């Protein structure tokens, strides 16, 4: 691990605006892919919307951040998603348990993200971040942190990339 801030990247919501799948047409710039990550080996393949331009945007941020997958796809993000975006293999947060309850209305990933960052500055993009998570991170993480909630019907937008670039400066 380097000293630059981490950019913790969720897939479903930020990169895959899954709530847009029910529309008649895919959002502009997005292409639908059929994938079979662990858990989807039988039946219909998982539809995933990806915008190849997001790969270039993330790579442009890699001179300011260490890019890390923070997704339930774990290492499979490097097999199924990264290549469609032109991303090299990235490290990933290896969640010990997926989806366990917290009892305090924080998102189940929040504590693991803070533990992974280990005091290092980080920006985190996810569709399930809320005010409770921001408060929890502020109280338990000694370094700077940017928690950016992404609309799962829209995905990452220009303003998100601009905010990430500005924050890392």
Residue 1 has pLDDT above 60, yes or no: no
Residue 2 has pLDDT above 80, yes or no: no
Residue 40: its pLDDT value, please?
76
Q: How many residues does the chain have?
A: 169
Mean pLDDT of 49-72: 96
Q: What percentage of the chain has pLDDT greater than the value 70? A: 93
Q: How many CB atoms lie within 10 A of CB 26?
A: 16
Q: Are 14 and 155 in contact (CB under 8 A)?
A: yes
pLDDT tens profile 91-109: 999 987 665 666 666 777 8
In angstroms, rounded to a whole number, what is the distance separating the alpha carbons of residues 83 and 102?
34
State the distance between the two ends of the chain, measured CA to CA, in whole angstroms: 19
Helix or strand (DSSP H, E) at 83: helix 82-85
In angstroms, rounded to a whole number, what is the distance separating the alpha carbons of residues 38 and 79?
11
DSSP 19: G
What number does CATH give the domain 6-17+51-168?
A: 3.40.50
In angstroms, rounded to a whole number, what is the distance separating the alpha carbons of residues 126 and 150?
6
pLDDT tens profile 115-141: 999 999 999 999 999 999 999 999 999
Question: pTM for the complete prediction?
Answer: 0.92
Q: Which phi and psi angles does 30 have, rounded to 5°?
A: -100, 150
């Amino acid at each position: 691990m380097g000293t630059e801030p981490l950019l913790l990247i969720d897939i479903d919501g930020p990169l895959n605006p899954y709530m847009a799948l029910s529309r008649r047409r895919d959002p502009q710039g997005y292409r639908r892919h059929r994938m079979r990550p662990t858990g989807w080996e039988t039946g219909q393949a998982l539809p995933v919307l990806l915008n190849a331009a997001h790969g270039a945007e993330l790579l442009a941020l890699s001179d300011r951040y260490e890019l890390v997958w923070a997704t339930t796809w774990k290492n499979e993000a490097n097999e199924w998603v990264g290549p469609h975006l032109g991303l090299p293999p990235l490290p990933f947060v290896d969640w010990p348990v997926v989806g366990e309850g917290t009892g305090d209305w924080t998102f189940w990933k929040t504590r693991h993200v803070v533990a992974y960052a280990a005091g290092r500055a980080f920006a985190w993009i996810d569709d399930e971040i809320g005010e409770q998570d921001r408060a929890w991170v502020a109280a338990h993480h000694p370094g700077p942190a940017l928690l950016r909630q992404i609309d799962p019907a829209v995905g990452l937008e220009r303003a998100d990339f601009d905010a990430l670039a500005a924050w890392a400066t």
